[in-house]
Amino acid sequence: MNILLVEDEARVADFIRRGLSAEGWGVTHASDGETALALLSEAPFDAIILDLMLPGISGQDVCRKLRARSSTIPVLMLSALDSTDERIAGLKLGADDYLPKPFDFDELVARLEALHRRTQRFAAAENADLLDCGGVTFDKRSLTVQVDDVAIDLSGKEREILLLLMSNRGRTFSRERILNAVWGMTADPLTNVVDVYIGRLRRKLRQHGGRIVTLRNVGYRFD
């Protein structure tokens, strides 16, 4: 993990930095809120350890400004303020966890690992709805398709064929399988309806159209 540590007490910061580095994690240290916000604009981080009692911009304001940017980076707040009200206030500002000082280092590591696992699960769930095949993306939630970040218009049947092929990259589907999956028929009353729709898809996918490969006398696949 790559951690941003925002802590103005030099001894505490050095203790955390050395401990997390020993765990094999990257640690970038900021001693005030202004520096932290600047670093967050320049580089990606997997999690933030955020002290609340900072010079200049407080930790609460850093968290508030971060969430105003629509950032979803996990934030673990550290503070000597240990009342229930303080914890609730920190969580309402957008923190994901709250650890009072003094703290046990093993607990700090365990909480960071838990935040990272949770973030990874959310990312995996979100990515499951997005098929990304190197320049061609299919959002299964909105049923939108983009080619090199430009939206393209597809008919309902074109979308269904593309979704079938992209969801099974490298797998070959016979014309009969495509016909049954998309039209619910086992015989083609128009003799070449699948071929016609594949041709339309290739044209709309422009330079990526060739990724729909024809296997002569077998069927089609998306490479």
pLDDT tens digits, 29-41: 999 999 999 998 8
pLDDT in tens, 59-78: 899 999 888 887 888 999 98
Q: Residue 71's pLDDT is what?
A: 80
| pLDDT reading at 42 higher than 60 | yes
Cβ-contact 17, 30 below 8 angstroms: no
Q: Residue 113's pLDDT is what?
A: 87
| pLDDT reading at 169 higher than 90 | no
Give the DSSP per-residue string, 188-221.
Answer: -TTSSHHHHHHHHHHHHTGGGGGGEEEETTTEEE
C-alpha dist (Å) from residue 49 to 130, 156, 193, 195, 198: 31, 47, 58, 56, 52
pLDDT in tens, 110-145: 888 888 877 776 655 555 678 888 889 898 888 889
Q: Residue 124's pLDDT is what?
A: 58
Q: Residue 138: phi, psi to the nearest 5?
A: -130, 115
Cβ-contact 95, 75 below 8 angstroms: yes
Token couple for 116: 């990272």
How much is the average pLDDT of 82-102? 81
Q: Residue 2's pLDDT is what?
A: 87
Q: Residue 189's pLDDT is what?
A: 63
